[in-house]
Amino acid sequence: MTKVKSPMTVLRLASNLFTMENQQIFYPFIIIVFINLLILEVLYFAPRYPLSLFFNPLISRMWGAEYLQYPLNLLLLPKIMYYAQIVVFLFVTSILTAVTVDMIAAINNDRPAIFKDSFKRAIRSYISIVIYAMLPLIFFQGFTKGYGLLIRHADKIHETTGFYFWLKKFVFYATPYAQFIYGIFVTALLIYIPVLIIIEKRKIFTAFFVNFKVLFGSFWLTFFMILVPSLFFLPLLLMRENINALAQMTAPEIQIWIIALSIFISTAINIMTVSSASVYYLYKKENL
Amino acid sequence: MKKLLLTLGCILLVIYAVLTALSWGDGYRSERKLWRLNHEFSYLATHNDSTPDFAFEQMARKYRAFIQQSPSAIFAARGQMMLGNLYAVRKDYPHARDEYQKAVGSDDEISAQAQMSTAKTYELENNWQQAHDTYQQIVKDYPTTNTGFFVSMYLAKHDDSYDSALTFYQNLANQHPKSTLEYNALRMIALCQLNQHDWQATVQTMRDMILKYPKAMAIKEAVNTINLLTVTRLHDYDMGIQIYQQFIQKYPDHPADPLLQKMIKDLQLLKSKNLNIRFGQAPLPKKL
C-alpha cells in the first residue's frame, strides 16, 4: 500500500477506486444527483399547471403570491431547493454516502463492490446514519446564530472610514466564505463517524467519541483532505453571490443551471471526501 | 452503469416532457415572453435620447406580434399597455392613448391602469381638464381596483378637493364592510380629515379603524396619530384614554394591550400635571 504522507495522496488513492472495474461505486453518486435533479424539475414546474394546484397555495402563504410570477419564481427556486435538499440530505444522501463507505471497505477486502449488497448492509445502520446527518445541520444552526450576532454587532459600527469600517465590510461580505470554511471545519470534525458506523458497526454515540480518537494527530490532514475537493465549489459560490448581475447579463433561467451544476459538484465533493476518509481510516487501521 | 444512466436520464426527460405538455397554455410562456420584451424595452427607455427611431419601431413590432400571438387576453392587454408606454416614452402621446384604449376590456385592474396611463398623457400635455375628466371616469368605473382606489386621493391632493374624496371613501367603507377595502378606505378617510384639519374626526376614524381591524400596523398608525392629535391639537387627554380603554375592553388578550396600558398611564400623567402642550410647530404626519 502507498505510504500516506499528505492529503493529496489520500485523495489520489480514493479517486483511484472510482474505475470502470468497480463501476457500481458510481451508483450512489448517480442516484443522489438523479433525486436532486428530479426535485429541481418538480420545483421548477411548481407554479405551473398541474403542480400549481398543490404548490401555489403553499408558496402564496409562505412567501407571497408574487413569487408565482415569472421571473420571481426563479428567485425563490434556490431557497425552496435548499429546504428540499436538507430533507434529501438527511434521509437519502446520508445513506447513499454510507453505501459508498461500505463499497470502499469491500474493495479493500478484495471483494467486489456491489451496490445492492452494500445497501443491504448500510441500511441496518440507517438510524445512526440519519442522526449523524443531523449533526452538521445542528452545528450550522449554531453558526448561523453566532454569525447573526456578529452581523448585528457590526451593524452598530457607524464609521465610514478606517479599520472599523473595513471590519464591518468584511463581516458583511465574508458571510458565504465564512460559511464555506466553517462547513469544511465541521465536516472534518465529524467525517469519521459514518466510516465508523459502517466499517466498525458502531452505534452513533460510540462512533461520535471514537471519531475524535481517529482525528487525534491527523486533524489537519483530514481538514486539507476535505478542503482540496471543496475548492471546486468556490466558483459556484462566486456565481451565487453575483447571481443578480449574472441573471441581468444572461437570463433569469441561469438560476436553474447554477443549481443543477451545484448538485453535481456538491455531490461529487461529498462522495470524494467520505471516500477519502474511508481510505485514510482503513490505512490507519491497518498500518498504525 | 450505462443502463442506469440511460434509465434515469430518460425518466428525467419524460417527466420534463409530460410537465411541459400539461402546462402548455397556462400563460407561463406568455408571461416569460412579455417579461423579456419588457426587459428589452426598459433598456431602450433608459437610453431614450440616444436610441434611434427604428429601434423603437422594431420594439413596437415585437409587442404587436406578441399581442397577436398571445393566447391569453390578460397578457395581450398587458402587452398593449407596454406598447402604449413605448409611445409615451417617445412623447407620441396621441398614439400612446390609442394603444392604452385598446387595453381597456374585460380585466378591471388593467382597464383602470390603461385609463390612468391615458390620463397621465393628458397631464404631460398640460391638458389638466381632460386628465381630470379621465381620472373622474376611473373613480366612477373602477372604484374597487387598486388603481381606482387611489385616484380619488390623487385628485384630492391635486385640487385640494378632500370633500369629494372623503365622500368617495366613506361610500366605499359602507359598501364593503369587514373587508380589506373597508380597512384601506378608513385609512384614506383619516388622511382626508387630517388634511382638512378636522382633528376630532381623524381621531374618531382611527378609533373605528383599530376597533374593527386590530392589526399591528393599524394600531401603530392609530396610536401615533391619536397621541399626537389629542395631546398637541385637541388637548383632550381623556379622548385618547377612552379609546385605548375601549380597545383593551374589546380585545382583552391582544398583544398591543401592554403598550396601550402604558399610553393610558402616560396620558393620565400628562393630565394630572395639567400640561397644556402646544406644539405649534409640531409636524403633522404627512401620511398615515
Question: CB-based contact (8 Å) between A37 and chain B?
Answer: yes
Alpha helices in chain B (DSSP H): 2-22, 28-46, 53-69, 73-89, 93-103, 108-124, 128-141, 146-159, 162-175, 180-195, 199-212, 216-228, 237-250, 257-272
**Residues A111/A101, Cβ–Cβ less than 8 Å:** no
Question: CB-based contact (8 Å) between A47 and chain B?
Answer: yes
The answer on pLDDT for B288 being more than 80 is: no
Which of B23, B31, B32 has its CB closest to that of A49?
Answer: B23
Nearest Cα residue in chain B from A41: B16
Domain segments of chain A as ranges: 7-287
Q: Can you tell me the mean pLDDT for B85-94?
A: 95
Q: Can you tell me the mean pLDDT for B196-213?
A: 95
Q: Can you tell me the mean pLDDT for B173-179?
A: 94
**DSSP 8-state class, residue A67:** G
Q: For Cα atoms B279, B284, B288, give the angle at the middle one, nearest 5 degrees.
A: 145
Provide CB contacts within 8 A for B228, sequence distance 6+. B282, B284, B285
- Share the mean pLDDT of chain A: 90
**Residues B282/B232, Cβ–Cβ less than 8 Å:** yes
Tell me the three state secondary structure of residue B59.
helix
What's this model's pTM, rounded to 2 decimal places?
0.79
Residues A45, B23: C-beta atoms closer than 8 Å: yes
d(CA B11, nearest CA chain A) in Å: 9
Question: CB-based contact (8 Å) between A54 and chain B?
Answer: no
Question: CB-based contact (8 Å) between B26 and chain A?
Answer: yes
The answer on pLDDT for B251 being more than 70 is: yes
To which residue does cell 454516502 refer? A97
Nearest Cα residue in chain B from A39: B12
Question: CB-based contact (8 Å) between A1 and chain B?
Answer: no
Among A10-24, A85-99, A137-151, A210-224, the range of highest mean pLDDT = A85-99
Which of B12, B26, B28 has its CB closest to that of A41?
Answer: B12
Which of A26, A70, A251 has its CB closest to that of B1?
Answer: A26
**What ipTM goes with this model?**
0.86
